[in-house]
Structure 1
Amino acid sequence: MSLADPARLSPHVKDLGGGFLVRRLLPSAGRQAVGPFLFFDHFGPITATPADNHDVRPHPHIGLATVTYLFEGAMMHRDSTGVVQRIEPGAINWMTAGRGIVHSERTPDDLRGATRRSHGLQLWCAVPAAHERDEPSFQHVPAAALPERSESGVTLRVLVGEGHGLRSPVRTLSPTVYVDYRFAGAAAALALDVAATERAVYAVGGRLRLDGELLPEHTLAVLAPGTTPTLEADGEARAVLVGGDPLGPRFLWWNFVATDKALIEAAQDDWEAGRFPAVPGETEFIPLPPRRPRGG
């Protein structure tokens, strides 16, 4: 498989200021999703100072589930269902937007005056069409509740779904897998024993090889169905595997996902008109971006 193969996706990189880089792998020009995952952002690592402000003000979502996973740092999640949850490394935080939710992600107050690290993944999953208009909800599964084991120099954690003989307690609306791999050093290797209709491996950091071929850092490699490739490291490294059953194409606009454009247009109107539920304790919000005229 050559590096020009469309099964290998490179990120679009955006600097949010102060060297805070976000790498977006999905959606891409050639592929909207892998399984249910249709948005894949890798942010950091960065060392933030007390002068830095990377807070994300309240903003809305419909028709998707956000999946937040940190390698370093912490953030405070607040949403319109009343949930207030500190997010820390190793935990899975799964927010189902359903018919509409608003949330913010801010630096915890105890870290604002400190030099701090920030590094993690923000993913979105489509939800089955029958659940697009469900009640919004949030589930937090702490790091200690997620299954983990070490073998052949690799520590693996099954964050969502099943793989390597382990099962995550995270509840999903369709078959979904998400596994974190941490390689201790050179010669660490592991067969990716994870069954799913669609799968992809992302090189978070370090020097990795997939079935003997270099997998460049920050590359998402879509795996052939029915295979069990071997992932190995030339030193300390980290990777994640994502996948599951595909749910079909979706319309995406800003923070909205839907099977029907009319749902997105309605969400645009509702956000502009202030009809989304408020986040308790929040007064700020992110305005709706400019949109095309209807039918445009």
Structure 2
Amino acid sequence: MSNINIIIEERPADIGNFLVGRLLPFRNKRMVGPFIFIDHMGPANLKDYQNIDIGPHPHIGLSTLTYLFDGAIMHRDTLNNHIEITPGQVNWMTAGKGIVHSERTPERLRHTDKELHGLQIWVALPKELEEMDPEFYHADSVDIPAWEQDGVRYKLIAGEAFGRKSPVPVYSPLFLIEIKTDERKSINIGKDLFGEAGMYILEGGVESEGVVHEPKRILVAKNSSLCEFVMEAGTTVYIFGGEPFPEERLIYWNFVATNRELIEAAKLNWQQQNYPAIEGESGYIPLPEPHSALKPKGK
């Protein structure tokens, strides 16, 4: 019997001037563990006149994780963080009761041809922490646990697994693991996982129970303890998941909450511009109409 519960394929989503592959949420699977939103950005080749400009926009009830493979993004927020995200780094912003940030092409790249490729992820906060004070953490690539075993390269981007712990300050039991191989390899990591588990295939191919799965899709396991598969040569996957929450999560635009009242308060606060301003930024992305409210950021 197959251990694959559901297969989720990337769907194109427009984030303003840039197309991404939307993976979560999915109509038949809203979350995997605490992971509630995953976008695959790119790979995109941007001309000298093309830039990413996602202006100030708010979040509540979640942590955002940005992980780049190529390119750079300038992050600014209302905690006065102003930092350039480059490949291999982990940018972790916890919104809690409310934070505003912007994401733009860095000034040094705005008039040159460039590439952008990476993942943007939202992790919902536990109910008891969804109104915590906002926090920010930025890990350099050398800070992320990385090791090689039997010719397979691993990185623990966030959470705990394999007896290791990422420095990224997560707020519930979870894991986000990068696995790469240049040769065909059998992988059996079920004993190291817990809760729910999904696998995003970035490149290459994964064979599971005699079926080869192509890139740009998520395989969600029925039982994370039975996570066993074969990676084809030149494959990169991301294993993610953790303990699911007992409560449902609501999403409206960039707001995640356990109840409608928190969403409505956040909408009103943004409409009335009650959030702090970002130093060095001007303008803001207006609250979308209800029919487009499930298109995160300014979309």
TM-score (norm 2): 0.91
Paired residue for 2:294? Answer: none
- Equivalent residues in 2 for 1:1-296, closer than 5 Å: 7-16=6-15, 20-185=18-183, 187-193=184-190, 194-247=192-245, 248-291=247-290
Gaps of 5+ in 2: 292-299
> Residue 178 of structure 1 contacts residue 242 of structure 1 at CA under 8 Å; is this kept in 2?
yes
How far apart are 1:115 and its partner, in Å?
1.5
Q: Which residue identity is paired with 2:187?
A: L
How far apart are 1:211 and its partner, in Å?
4.6
* 1:210-249 C-alpha deviation (Å, 9 max, x unpaired): 3542122111111132524333332212110110111231
**% of aligned pairs identical?**
39
Q: Say if 1:257 and 1:75 are closer, same or farther in 2 by CA, change over 3 A.
A: same
Moved over 6 A (4+): none
Q: Which residue identity is paired with 2:101?
A: H
Secondary structure at the counterpart of residue 110 of structure 1: helix
Q: Which residue identity is paired with 1:276?
A: Y
* Whole-angstrom CA distance in 2 between matches of 1:128 and 1:161: 15
Q: Which residue identity is paired with 1:191?
A: N
* Whole-angstrom CA distance in 2 between matches of 1:155 and 1:252: 35
How far apart are 1:284 and its partner, in Å?
2.0
Q: Which residue identity is paired with 1:45?
A: P
TM-score (norm 1): 0.92
How far apart are 1:13 and its partner, in Å?
1.3
How far apart are 1:202 and its partner, in Å?
0.6
Count of residues in Structure 1 that have an aligned counterpart in Structure 2: 289
* Whole-angstrom CA distance in 2 between matches of 1:139 and 1:228: 33
* 1:8-47 C-alpha deviation (Å, 9 max, x unpaired): 11222125577x4311111111011000001111110111
> Residue 205 of structure 1 contacts residue 239 of structure 1 at CA under 8 Å; is this kept in 2?
yes
> Residue 48 of structure 1 contacts residue 118 of structure 1 at CA under 8 Å; is this kept in 2?
yes
Q: Say if 1:226 and 1:243 are closer, same or farther in 2 by CA, change over 3 A.
A: closer
Q: Say if 1:119 and 1:168 are closer, same or farther in 2 by CA, change over 3 A.
A: same
> Residue 5 of structure 2 contacts residue 222 of structure 2 at CA under 8 Å; is this kept in 1?
no
Secondary structure at the counterpart of residue 104 of structure 1: strand
Secondary structure at the counterpart of residue 50 of structure 1: coil
* Whole-angstrom CA distance in 1 between matches of 2:205 and 2:88: 22
Q: Say if 1:253 and 1:77 are closer, same or farther in 2 by CA, change over 3 A.
A: same
> Residue 44 of structure 1 contacts residue 118 of structure 1 at CA under 8 Å; is this kept in 2?
yes
* 1:191-218 C-alpha deviation (Å, 9 max, x unpaired): 2253211111010112222354212211
How far apart are 1:6 and its partner, in Å?
5.2
> Residue 154 of structure 1 contacts residue 189 of structure 1 at CA under 8 Å; is this kept in 2?
no
How far apart are 1:100 and its partner, in Å?
0.5
Q: Which residue identity is paired with 1:188?
A: K
Q: Which residue identity is paired with 1:152?
A: D
How far apart are 1:290 and its partner, in Å?
1.5
> Residue 205 of structure 1 contacts residue 237 of structure 1 at CA under 8 Å; is this kept in 2?
yes
Q: Say if 1:114 and 1:232 are closer, same or farther in 2 by CA, change over 3 A.
A: farther
